[in-house]
Every structure is written in structure tokens, then in C-alpha cells.
């Protein structure tokens, strides 16, 4: 199947200008919705509700069961995924399927997080009734405190009314953005309170570019026989053999106790031999400030450091002893960049 060639738009054409104006209006409308949320948080009531929701989830001992219908349901699925990937056990239950057996996916110590902008989605009725019958905490994300969902909820995250970006005022746009942000806020509050770290994040994100960035140095480093090591009293001619055999263009220089005291690089060799070859001890030619990291550092941090310092290698140390080496090519091959 052949791809379709799309010509560059005529930005001066009236229809193009009208489309770009609609783009700007959409962004501005949704931004106003988020600004209204920020103001509601600053006023205190919404912030207190968010805090109550966080505490309820933390103290429940169960999962967060997120539900919603239509566009709110799609947002609910994303919120469930975000919570699960940041250390809060969570899953999505479709409200229509809940009426046909999936209510069994809600445990007594779970918390139900229900989304409905109007608060009147009829498909939520059975889930709402179920939580009331069995004393399961119900948190609502809605714009209508007096709705069926708002009245039934133990905790209401009542979002301010906002204009939809749809020119007809019908398609959920601003409202779903605000619901999404509310879910993100809950997830971030929870992960920060539990001290969820990048290493924890790695457990749930092993794949793709994000997984690569969260690799640790220990997973990428060259070690053992692959690590170029030379003693400080070794003659430079022998040090060159070790450097070239390992093909990194660098070697770690260690003292009698095996502690890292310097690095021998191609640049050090050029400087040592600028007036002609003269053999000498490695210690006389080495650089005395080798760049080091520990094995638990994230690959993305190492890449940023290499870019800042304009270097291609760092040594991995355990205390003062070199145990590995990471080359920028290792990071690139792993997909960190």
C-alpha cells in the first residue's frame, strides 16, 4: 500500500488560518479548565479532598479499582495504569461488565475511584450500590456534587465546571483533560509519600526507551577480564598493550592496594610523547581525576554526565576499587539516548 503525500499547508490561506485559530482556542479553553482546578486547590477545599483520598488509599490495604463509562472510562483506564506503574496496586473495571460478574473484582478492602463528569452515568449504578452495601470506600471524580455519584461518594473530588473545547459544547474535551490531571495528581501524591524511586519505577517499566533509561550501570558495565587495568608502576609501553587490547581507549590506574588513583587515556599518551617516545612509569603520564560512578546509578544519569563533561567512558567503583567501565557506546546500544 502506497503512502499518501501530503503537501505543506498554505498558512496564509483563510481556511488554514481558521483551523489554526481553532487550535489556539482549544488549547486556551482547556488551559482555563486547568487554571480553574489550580484555583480550587488553592482555595483549600479541593486540596483537602485530595488529601483525604490519598489517606484513604494508603490506609485501605487493598487496590484502587478505577471505573468510568464512555470517555470517562478511557480516562479511568489510563489512571489505573498510571497508579499501577507508580507503585499503587490498581486495575480498571468496566461498569457495564461489573453488572455481569466483574463486581467480584472489587475486594472488601479496596477503594473504588469512579469518574463521571455529570455524576449521572446510569452504568455506574450497580458499582455505587455495591460499594454502599459492603462498606467499600468510594471516591468520586465529578463536577456535580449533587449528582447521584457525588451524593453517594465517601470522598468527592469535585472539579470546577468548565467549558468544553468542542464548539458545540458536547464532546468531552476540557472535562476529560481535568479528570486526567486529577488522576495524575493522585498518583504523584501517592508515589512521593511512599518514596517511590527510579529504581522502583524500573521494576514496572522494563521495556522501551523508558526501560533503557532506567537501566542501572551494573547492567551495562564491562567487568572482570574486560576491564582495562594497569598498575601505577607499570611501564607505559606495557600499559599501552593493556589499553589497546581492551579497545576502550582508556585504562584504570591502580595502586598497590587496588585503589583507583588515575586513568590513562589516548590523550595522555599524546601528551607524553609530544617530543618523541620515551618509556616511563604509567603514574608519570596518567590523568589524576578519573570520572567514577557506583553500580546502582541509572544509565540516563551517566549519559547526562558524559554529555556535560564531553567524555566517552566512566569507571564503576566499589569504594575506591574499580569494578567496571561503561562506554557511551554501551548506552547508545541499550537505547538510553
> What is the Cα–Cα distance from 230 to 263, expressed in whole angstroms?
9
The DSSP code sequence of 13-78 is SHHHHHHHHHHHHHHHHHHHHHHHHHHHHHHSHHHHHHHHHHHHHHHH-S-EEEEESTHHHHHHHH
User: How confident is the model over 156-212, as pLDDT tens digits?
Assistant: 999 999 999 988 888 899 999 999 999 999 999 999 888 766 665 655 555 555 666
- CATH superfamily assigned to domain 20-196: Glucose-6-phosphate isomerase like protein; domain 1 (3.40.50.10490)
Instruction: Read off the pTM.
Output: 0.69
- The low-confidence residues of the chain, meaning pLDDT below 70, are 1-2, 196-214, 337
Q: Within the chain, how many helices (H) and strands (E) appear? A: 14, 11
Residues 62, 50: Cα–Cα separation, whole Å: 18
Q: Are 138 and 67 in contact (CB under 8 A)?
A: no
The CA distance from 202 to 265, in Å, is 34
Query: What residues does each domain of the chain span?
Result: 20-196, 217-333
The CA distance from 157 to 226, in Å, is 57
pLDDT tens figures, 216-248: 888 888 999 899 999 999 988 888 888 888 888
Looking at CATH, the fold of the domain delimited by 217-333 is given as: CBS-domain (3.10.580)
How many other C-beta atoms are found inside a 10 Å radius of the C-beta of residue 310? 6
Helix (H) / strand (E) element for 91: namely strand 90-92
CA angle 123, 176, 202 (to 5 degrees): 100
Q: Give the Cα-Cα-Cα angle 243, 247, 249 (nearest 5 degrees).
A: 60
pLDDT for position 1: 60
Position 205 scores a pLDDT of 54
Predicted confidence at residue 213, as pLDDT, reads 65
Task: Give the chain's radius of gyration (CA, Å).
Answer: 29
Cβ atoms of 79 and 66 closer than 8 Å = yes
Amino acid at each position: 500500500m502506497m503512502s499518501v503525500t501530503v503537501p505543506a499547508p498554505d498558512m496564509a490561506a483563510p481556511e488554514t488560518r481558521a483551523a489554526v485559530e481553532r487550535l489556539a482556542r482549544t488549547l486556551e479553553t482547556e488551559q482555563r479548565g486547568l487554571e480553574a482546578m489550580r484555583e480550587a486547590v488553592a482555595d483549600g477545599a479541593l486540596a483537602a479532598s485530595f488529601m483525604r483520598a490519598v489517606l484513604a488509599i494508603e490506609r485501605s490495604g487493598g487496590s484502587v479499582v478505577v471505573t468510568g463509562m464512555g470517555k470517562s472510562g478511557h480516562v479511568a483506564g489510563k489512571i489505573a495504569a498510571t497508579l499501577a506503574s507508580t507503585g499503587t496496586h490498581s486495575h480498571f473495571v468496566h461498569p457495564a461488565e461489573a453488572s455481569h460478574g466483574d463486581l467480584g473484582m472489587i475486594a472488601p478492602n479496596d477503594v473504588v475511584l469512579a469518574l463521571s463528569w455529570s455524576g449521572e452515568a446510569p452504568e455506574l449504578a450497580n458499582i455505587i450500590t455495591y460499594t454502599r452495601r459492603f462498606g467499600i470506600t468510594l471516591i468520586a471524580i465529578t463536577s456535580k456534587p449533587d449528582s447521584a455519584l457525588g451524593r453517594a461518594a465517601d470522598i468527592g473530588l469535585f472539579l470546577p465546571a468548565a467549558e468544553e473545547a468542542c464548539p458545540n459544547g458536547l464532546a468531552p474535551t476540557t472535562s476529560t483533560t481535568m479528570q486526567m490531571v486529577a488522576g495524575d495528581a493522585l498518583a504523584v501524591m501517592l508515589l512521593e509519600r511512599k518514596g517511590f524511586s527510579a529504581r522502583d519505577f524500573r521494576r514496572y517499566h522494563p521495556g522501551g526507551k523508558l526501560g533503557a533509561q532506567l537501566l542501572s550501570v551494573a547492567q551495562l558495565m564491562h567487568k572482570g577480564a574486560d576491564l582495562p587495568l594497569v598498575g601505577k608502576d607499570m611501564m607505559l609501553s606495557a600499559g599501552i598493550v593493556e589499553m589497546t587490547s581492551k579497545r576502550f581507549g582508556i585504562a584504570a590506574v591502580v595502586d598497590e592496594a587496588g585503589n583507583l588513583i588515575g586513568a590513562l587515556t589516548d590523550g595522555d599518551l599524546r601528551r607524553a610523547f609530544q617530543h618523541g617516545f620515551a618509556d616511563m612509569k604509567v603514574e608519570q603520564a596518567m590523568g589524576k581525576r578519573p570520572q567514577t560512578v557506583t553500580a546502582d546509578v541509572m544509565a540516563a544519569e551517566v549519559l547526562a554526565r558524559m554529555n556535560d563533561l564531553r567524555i566517552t567512558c566512566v569507571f564503576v567503583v566499589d569504594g575506591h576499587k574499580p569494578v567496571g567501565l561503561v562506554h557511551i557506546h554501551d548506552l547508545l546500544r541499550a537505547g538510553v539516548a
